């Protein structure tokens, strides 16, 4: 089953990355201006919209949960990129640089997913998509608290690990939704 998960994970990431790079060509790296808390809030908006759609079953905007989960994946990558970049790095990054950073962060996150899947036995496959949404929301609130504490934690993993978990939960949801 692990090979199937790897393939499904890669297929979902390919969809997310394609959109990410197309938007980079359209908009450049305007996201570089965002502070980490603003990125967290963007992820919150997307997760909250998914939850609303799950509960109300009606969209007045016409977008479905799939596009919102893709947005969560891509904003998590943006967040991790921003955490690794400094104010000395240019605001505008080339598409090739963005693609390299995207791959680095996704590959590290995928490795974490396989380590956790080993320990948890791919329990996510038996979970409801709505539970994955709730886990993303919980992680967002954890990140917000860590941000409010100026990045300091006493006994918990840091912000980057939470973004990795959110990215993986969103990928799991997209796999369950049949995105390829």
DSSP string, 125-174: GGS-HHHHHHHHHHHHHHHHHHHHTTT--SSS--HHHHHHHHHHHHHHHH
Q: Are 14 and 106 in contact (CB under 8 A)?
A: no
pLDDT tens for residues 92-138? 999 999 999 999 999 999 999 999 888 888 899 999 999 999 999 99
Task: Please give the residue that has the higher pLDDT: either 87 or 175.
Answer: 175
pLDDT tens track for 19-71: 999 999 999 999 999 999 999 999 999 999 999 999 987 766 667 899 999 99
Q: Which residues contact 103 (CB under 8 A, 6 or more apart)?
A: 17
Residue 150 has pLDDT above 50, yes or no: yes
Average pLDDT over residues 67-85: 97
pLDDT value for 62: 66
Taking 70 as the threshold, does the pLDDT of residue 3 lie above it? Answer: no
Q: How far is 57 from 54, CA to CA, in rounded Å?
A: 6
Q: Which of 72, 104, 98 is nearest to 168 (CA)?
A: 72
Both tokens assigned to 180: 């390829």
pLDDT at residue 1, as a whole number = 44
């Amino acid at each position: 089953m692990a090979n199937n998960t790897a393939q499904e994970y890669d297929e979902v990431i390919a969809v997310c990355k394609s959109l990410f790079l197309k938007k980079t060509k359209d908009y450049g790296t305007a996201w570089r201006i965002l502070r980490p808390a603003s990125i967290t809030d963007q992820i919150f908006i997307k997760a909250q919209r998914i939850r609303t759609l799950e509960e109300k079953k009606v969209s007045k905007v016409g977008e479905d949960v799939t596009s919102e989960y893709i947005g969560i994946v891509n904003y998590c990558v943006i967040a991790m990129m921003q955490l690794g970049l400094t104010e000395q790095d240019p605001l505008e990054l080339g598409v090739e640089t963005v693609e390299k950073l995207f791959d680095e962060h996704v590959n590290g996150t995928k490795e974490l997913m396989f380590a956790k899947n080993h320990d948890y036995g791919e329990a996510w496959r038996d979970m409801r998509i709505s539970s994955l949404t709730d886990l993303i929301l919980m992680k967002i609130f954890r990140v917000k608290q860590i941000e409010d504490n100026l990045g300091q934690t006493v006994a918990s993993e840091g912000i980057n690990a939470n973004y990795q978990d959110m990215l993986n939960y969103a990928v799991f949801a997209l796999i369950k939704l049949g995105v390829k």
